[in-house]
Structure 1
């Protein structure tokens, strides 16, 4: 069986009722994976939680790998939409304000169930389509960061290209790691500390 057959949805809903069923399956899967983990998060449990027959589930997805991949794609799409929404707003006057926008967007995109986020990162299969989406999302964020860093005279780093990559990778990794941990954290304190750290890095002589 090819990757397309194994990892891709089988049925693209064309009617409102079919789309609602697909959304129920995805929502149920998110809860099941978070509650039981990926290994024990079977399609039978997902179908039961969604209130559909196992046969109906298989009309939409060939296996749980395809379901998890769709959840991951949705996570990246929502992240891209959050970044686009904030880009459309008026930019702050300082690089500290810009860093706060970046950090807030990353935190907002990681407020779903932390256990599900851990499963997405650590256990999800990787398809070519998904990885293409991931790289496109990252490239767009780095390009936007690079453009912004060049607008602010207070930015003192010598290599803006590398700084843009460091900022984006660090925000994504730190926010994911900290929020996915079992110990709860004050999100406002996390935001303030990250903003201070990146601002000092960018503005130091």
Structure 2
């Protein structure tokens, strides 16, 4: 059985100077990952790019995998903070306006350093961050579920748990495909418009129609 890699930092940076050092190391890790790719990235290259000794790097991180895992956490936390703040801000807006804003922000969050996002997505299983990413996805679904509860009367769906899952997964899948295959789409407003249209038409009550969606017979 292959030995499980240790991706836990050796120690936490508590003092401001230590936090600055760790931030510099993680920023250098991100740059090297984008420039060199995962396989060609090394702790020596990262230390050199960060302007620190290899010994200083190893004070905080035991290996390359731990560095990449830390970059994944930092990058994802920045994305989720953007989504959390937006969900709170648009909670009382009408469905169409808030749906567009939430979609826009989810796309914008994936557009934070898209080249880095692509590399990190590819390496998430490799450095053991799959469970963490699943928790992040679950939080996004909970945020959307809470929003849908507020706007239940504007919806044509009854199962809000399922609706939140479908809405978040749809946006995630389309955005992820754009990151991997057509990253230029992330900066184009019509991409936001089209993804919003997909989600809004799924969730909203059609004009002049009954609130409840007719279910297809088996």
Shorter-normalised TM range:
0.7 to 0.9
TM-score w.r.t. the length of structure 1 is 0.87
Q: Corresponding residue for 1:54?
A: 54
Instruction: Report which stretch shifted further, 182-191 or 156-165.
Output: 182-191
Aligned: 1:200 with 2:201: yes
Alignment of 1:62-101 (within 5 A): 62-101=62-101
SS in 2 for 1:109: helix
Alignment of 1:101-180 (within 5 A): 101-124=101-124, 125-127=126-128, 130-152=129-151, 153-180=153-180
Which deviations, in whole Å up to 9, do the C-alpha atoms of 1:120-178 show, x marking residues without a partner?
11123243xx4443333222222222232233323112432211101111212221220
Contact 2:103 2:196 in 1 (8 A): yes
Give, in whole Å, the separation in 1 of the partners of 2:103 and 2:77: 17
CA-atom RMSD, angstroms? 2.2
Unaligned runs of 5+ in 1: none
How many residue pairs get aligned? The number is 202
Give, in whole Å, the separation in 2 of the partners of 1:38 and 1:83: 28
1:183/1:106 Cα in 2 relative to 1: closer, same or farther (>3 Å)? closer
Give, in whole Å, the separation in 2 of the partners of 1:40 and 1:182: 25
Unaligned runs of 5+ in 2: 207-212, 214-218
The alpha-carbon deviation at position 47 of structure 1 amounts to: 0.9
Give, in whole Å, the separation in 1 of the partners of 2:39 and 2:145: 40
1:2/1:16 Cα in 2 relative to 1: closer, same or farther (>3 Å)? farther
The alpha-carbon deviation at position 85 of structure 1 amounts to: 1.2
Give, in whole Å, the separation in 1 of the partners of 2:200 and 2:111: 24
The alpha-carbon deviation at position 13 of structure 1 amounts to: 1.6
Structure with bigger gyration radius: 2
The alpha-carbon deviation at position 62 of structure 1 amounts to: 1.0
